[in-house]
């Protein structure tokens, strides 16, 4: 087809496209980008304007756009095969990728099940955990899942069932299966407690008690390790995940870790966040940066213990009856291999602590701004919560969409950000330079000054 014009693209977008997580009544008023190209860490829109991609194209673009090594790997794979079914068959790039992932992951994780995105990675872990107990002697009563308040694990029905963000999920209550919700240990406002630390400790203890109380019927606990991203970058107190792992071990239940957002170096220390936090899970859910942000692919890693519960003669029906058309896609696997090659060849993990410290220093420069109520950082991701009054921690009315206004103002300065309510989210590529961090924060300071002048100190 002929290359459409700028006006045609915008007309077709308005007439035919339904965008995710987008209130279309204000969509056109909030200056959406029509991206036509990218280079390095920049997006290029239909008018030729460039924007620093400070959210890694929704947290997945690990090393920038048009990375030559990943481009070349995908082109080379195209000369072999783009896709072949993985159902009852194998594909060389995905098989060798599974070996690499197992070699990188904590020791108990030996099996890899592929799917297409983070939501399906979690969905698979839930179904595996459920079926595991039904096929394990004495495990038939283990049918309860414990989730965290403010959790987000994706938008398929199982993933929504173990989610806890009402604004995302309230409409679908009748479709969901029952779960037990534990409190989130993040406590910026800590109502009823003298300090934030006291509120966080109370939440962790309540979580431990729920695990203990449901020990006999508990199938699994589902946690985003380190930070609850979609909830507004809610960070967790030190030692939280180890305590939850210890509680699940005492209860004899499984632990599912959703590292869709925080895997592949995002912790600022290790390949996977669970390593930095000193925990070995029963399931590890990966996606987003797995392919460097190039192609849809996810992986659910689990243990030999879980895998063996699914073995038996076909007529016994112990098979895991789940799959996706593009499971183990060869092009996506090639992109993932190239991404892991970059990690290895450039010793990426060794350089992340310095980048994490630089981000921390830049965030500290926002602490005195009257509109900034809280700053939360986990490795190379951060959230800056905007409030109308720092002393009372009073939020702005949701209708004012202050977070979006600040992000739009940053966009006018050439930096692309996307908020979560009134939390400004930063999730830059791992390869962002110090000069680009300076550019990001210069734009953010200017945007805050433009849009938040009425905040109370």
CATH code for the domain in which residue 367 is found = 3.90.1150.10
User: Per the domain annotation, does 456 fall within a domain?
Assistant: no
Mean pLDDT of the 150-174 span: 94
Tell which of 345, 367, 383 closes a domain: 345
Picking from 298, 314, 345, the residue at the C-terminal end of a domain is 345
In a domain, 54, yes or no: yes
Is 274 in the same domain as 292? yes
State whether 242 and 379 are in the same domain: no
Are 173 and 37 within one domain?
no
What band does 223 get if pLDDT is binned at 50, 70 and 90? very high
High-pLDDT (> 90) share of the chain, %: 95
This prediction has a pTM of: 0.97
Indicate if the pLDDT at residue 175 is higher than 90.
yes
pLDDT digits (tens, 9 = 90+) for 38-82: 999 999 999 999 999 999 999 999 999 999 999 999 999 999 999
Tell me the C-alpha distance between 219 and 177, whole Å.
14
What's the chain's length in residues? 457
String of DSSP letters for 350-418: HHHHHHHHHHHHHHHTTTT-TTEEEEEEETTEEEEEE-SBTTTTBPPPGGG-HHHHHHHHHHHTTEE-E
Are 50 and 100 found together in one domain?
no
Task: Judge if 24 and 162 occupy the same domain.
Answer: no
Cα angle vertex 240, ends 234, 245, to 5°?
125
227 occurs within a structural domain: yes
Helix (H) or strand (E) holding 214: none
Domain assignment of residue 411, given as a range: 6-66+350-451
Of 345, 365, 383, the position where a domain reaches its end is 345
Nearest of 235, 352, 336, 261 to residue 294 by alpha carbon: 336
Do 395 and 422 form a contact (C-beta atoms < 8 A)?
Answer: yes
In a shared domain, residues 340 and 355: no
Query: Are residue 143 and residue 46 in the same domain, yes or no?
Result: no
187, 306, 302, 308: which is closest to 236 by C-alpha? 187
Q: Does residue 163 surpass a pLDDT of 90?
A: yes
Answer whether residue 457 is part of any domain: no
Q: Is residue 79 part of a domain?
A: yes
Query: Does residue 283 sit in the same domain as residue 409?
Result: no
The total number of structural domains in the chain stands at 2
Assigned domain for 159 exists = yes
| Residue 1 within a domain | no
Domain of 170, CATH number, reads 3.40.640.10
Residue 456: pLDDT band (50, 70, 90) is confident
Give the pLDDT confidence score for residue 282 in this predicted structure: 98
Q: What is the pLDDT of residues 242-270, one digit of tens each?
A: 999 999 999 999 999 999 999 999 999 99
Q: Are residues 252 and 341 in the same domain?
A: yes
Mean pLDDT along residues 413-423: 97
> Does residue 397 register a pLDDT over 90?
yes
Q: Are residues 77 and 23 in the same domain?
A: no
Whether residue 269 is found in the same domain as residue 141: yes
Q: Are residues 354 and 249 in the same domain?
A: no
Element (H, E) at 317: none
């Amino acid at each position: 087809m002929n290359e459409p014009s700028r006006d045609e693209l915008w007309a077709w977008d308005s007439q035919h496209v339904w965008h995710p997580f987008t209130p279309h009544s204000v969509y056109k008023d909030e200056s959406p980008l029509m991206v036509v190209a990218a280079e390095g860490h920049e997006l290029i829109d239909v008018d030729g304007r460039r924007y620093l991609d400070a959210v890694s194209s929704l947290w997945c673009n690990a090393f920038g756009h048009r990375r030559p090594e990943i481009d070349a790997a995908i082109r080379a794979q195209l000369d072999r095969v783009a896709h072949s079914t993985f159902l009852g068959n194998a594909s060389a790039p995905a098989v060798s990728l599974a070996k690499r992932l197992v070699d990188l992951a904590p020791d108990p994780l030996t099996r890899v099940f592929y799917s297409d995105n983070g939501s399906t990675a979690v969905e698979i872990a839930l179904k595996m955990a459920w079926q595991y107990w039904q096929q394990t002697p004495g495990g038939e009563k283990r049918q309860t899942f414990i989730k965290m308040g403010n959790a987000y694990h994706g938008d398929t029905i199982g993933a929504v069932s173990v989610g806890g963000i009402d604004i995302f999920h309230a409409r679908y209550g009748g479709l969901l299966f029952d779960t037990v919700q534990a409190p989130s240990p993040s406590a910026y406002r800590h109502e009823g407690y003298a300090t934030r630390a006291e509120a966080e400790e109370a939440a962790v203890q309540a979580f431990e008690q729920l695990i203990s109380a449901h020990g006999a019927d508990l199938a699994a606990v589902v946690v985003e390790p380190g930070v609850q991203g979609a909830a507004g970058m809610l960070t967790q107190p030190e030692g939280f995940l180890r305590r939850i792992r210890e509680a699940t071990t005492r209860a004899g239940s499984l632990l599912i870790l959703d590292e869709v957002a925080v895997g592949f170096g995002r912790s600022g220390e290790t390949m996977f966040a669970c390593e930095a936090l000193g925990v070995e899970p029963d399931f590890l859910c990966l996606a987003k940066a797995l392919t460097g942000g190039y192609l849809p692919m996810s992986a659910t890693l689990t243990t030999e213990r879980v895998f063996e519960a699914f073995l038996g003669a076909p007529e016994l029906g112990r098979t895991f009856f789940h799959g996706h058309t593009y499971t183990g896609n060869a092009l996506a696997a090639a992109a993932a291999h190239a991404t892991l090659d970059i990690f290895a060849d450039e010793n990426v993990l060794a350089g992340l602590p310095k980048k994490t410290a630089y981000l921390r220093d830049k965030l500290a420069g926002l602490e005195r701004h009257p509109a900034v109520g809280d700053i939360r950082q986990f490795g190379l991701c951060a959230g800056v919560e905007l409030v109308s009054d720092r002393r009372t921690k009073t939020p702005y009315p949701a209708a004012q969409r202050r977070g979006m206004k600040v992000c739009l103002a940053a966009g006018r300065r050439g930096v692309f950000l996307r908020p979560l309510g009134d939390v400004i989210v930063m999730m830059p590529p791992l390869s962002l330079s110090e000069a680009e961090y300076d550019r990001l924060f210069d734009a953010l300071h200017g945007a805050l000054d433009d849009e938040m002048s009425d905040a109370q100190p």
